[in-house]
């Protein structure tokens, strides 16, 4: 494998389906067979330093065993922009391949994965326009912005919750700059060569049980203390990091808006909803080859099928 330009492997699947573990297993097996492999993170929350427990970030030992890219690259106060992540990820992938290393893209939502591997252009940005809408948000609230977006672009407004001020500001900025708010993702067309997409699927009951166990483990590992430390650094006021699953629920507990039990239960239910949404998006991509997550020979099956995959 190593003498040719390696392909890009992409691992798709819902939260807690086992993508990170499979990525490490595959990378180690590939390396043992003479093909160096490294993991490229596609999860927008793993980029934040200090957000470890709640994001199920790969451990120091796991990162020592297999090189991981795009983890711990931002402080919490920095916003996570999909366009910036797209550029960084593509650069890392190209650098890996130019070194003869097979990159394995793992983790994250369908939006981030699609943005990295497919033709996917982002509308422009104008700091002045955005600042003006942010000022309106601060003065009049998100419901006013939602009503304004509904007047200008009703279809776009229907897809955004009235309380989501950040998305409303961005939608109004895009509409002002382009005259429209894109209603749907573009048709999937690879922007990168030799992409091989792998999906891992798991029955809902089994996934729900995994999510419950993961959240309980987060609490046991000191998740509340992690959020407390980040709250002291201003997590609640951050544009992106403070909205992460689990973190916003614990912040509500620390404010006294929820009990600790409610924060834990709401983290479980929100994660389950997100996992279903994730899986629904991935299921629409007919280019993905699916495998059962609970197959004890999962990595063997993926590697056996990989013998049939050709290079660019």
Residues with Cβ within 8 Å of 305's Cβ and at least 6 positions away in sequence, in order, are 289
The residue length of the chain stands at 312
Confidence check: pLDDT of 128 > 90: no
Return d(Cα 97, Cα 183) in angstroms, integer: 34
The pLDDT value recorded for residue 185 is 62
Give the pTM. Answer: 0.84
- Average pLDDT of 288-295? 96
Sheet holding 195-201, edge to edge: 68-69, 37-41, 102-106, 8-12, 195-201, 289-292
Question: By C-alpha distance, which of 215, 217, 209, 206 is closest to 245?
Answer: 215
Which helix (H) or strand (E) covers residue 201, if one does? strand 195-201
Confidence check: pLDDT of 122 > 90: no
Return d(Cα 266, Cα 275) in angstroms, integer: 14
Confidence check: pLDDT of 288 > 70: yes
Beta bridge partners of 38: 103
What is the residue whose two structure tokens read 């809902």?
Answer: 204
The pLDDT value recorded for residue 184 is 57
Burial of 255 (0-12, 13-18, 19+ CB in 10 A): exposed
Confidence check: pLDDT of 89 > 70: yes
Confidence check: pLDDT of 1 > 50: no
- Average pLDDT of 46-64? 96
The mean pLDDT of the chain is 92
């Amino acid at each position: 494998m190593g003498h040719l330009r390696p392909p890009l492997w992409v691992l798709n699947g819902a939260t807690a389906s086992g993508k990170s573990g499979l990525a490490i297993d595959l990378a180690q097996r590939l390396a043992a067979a003479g093909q160096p492999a490294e993991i490229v993170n596609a999860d927008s929350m793993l980029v934040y330093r200090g957000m470890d427990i709640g994001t199920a970030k790969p451990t120091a030992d796991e990162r020592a065993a297999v090189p991981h890219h795009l983890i711990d690259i931002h402080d919490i106060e920095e916003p996570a922009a999909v366009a910036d992540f797209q550029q960084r990820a593509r650069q890392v992938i190209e650098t890996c391949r130019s070194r003869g290393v097979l990159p394995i893209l793992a983790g994250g939502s369908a939006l981030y994965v699609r943005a990295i591997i497919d033709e996917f252009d982002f509308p422009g940005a104008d700091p002045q326009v955005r600042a003006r809408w942010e000022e309106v948000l601060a003065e009049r609230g998100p419901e006013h912005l939602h009503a304004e977006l509904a007047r200008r672009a009703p279809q776009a407004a229907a897809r955004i919750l009235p309380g989501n001020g950040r998305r409303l500001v961005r939608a109004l900025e895009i509409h002002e700059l382009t005259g429209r708010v894109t209603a749907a993702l573009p048709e999937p067309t690879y922007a990168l060569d030799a992409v091989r997409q792998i999906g891992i699927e798991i029955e809902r009951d089994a996934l729900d049980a995994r999510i419950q166990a993961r959240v309980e483990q987060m609490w046991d590992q000191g998740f509340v203390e992690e959020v407390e430390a980040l709250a002291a650094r201003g997590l609640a006021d951050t544009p992106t990091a403070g909205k992460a699953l689990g973190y916003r629920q614990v912040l509500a507990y620390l404010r006294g808006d929820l009990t600790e039990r409610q924060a834990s239960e709401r983290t479980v239910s929100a994660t389950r909803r997100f996992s279903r949404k994730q899986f629904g998006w991935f299921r629409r991509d007919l280019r993905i080859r699916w495998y059962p997550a609970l197959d004890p020979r999962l990595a063997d099956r993926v590697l056996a099928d990989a013998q049939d995959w050709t290079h660019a």
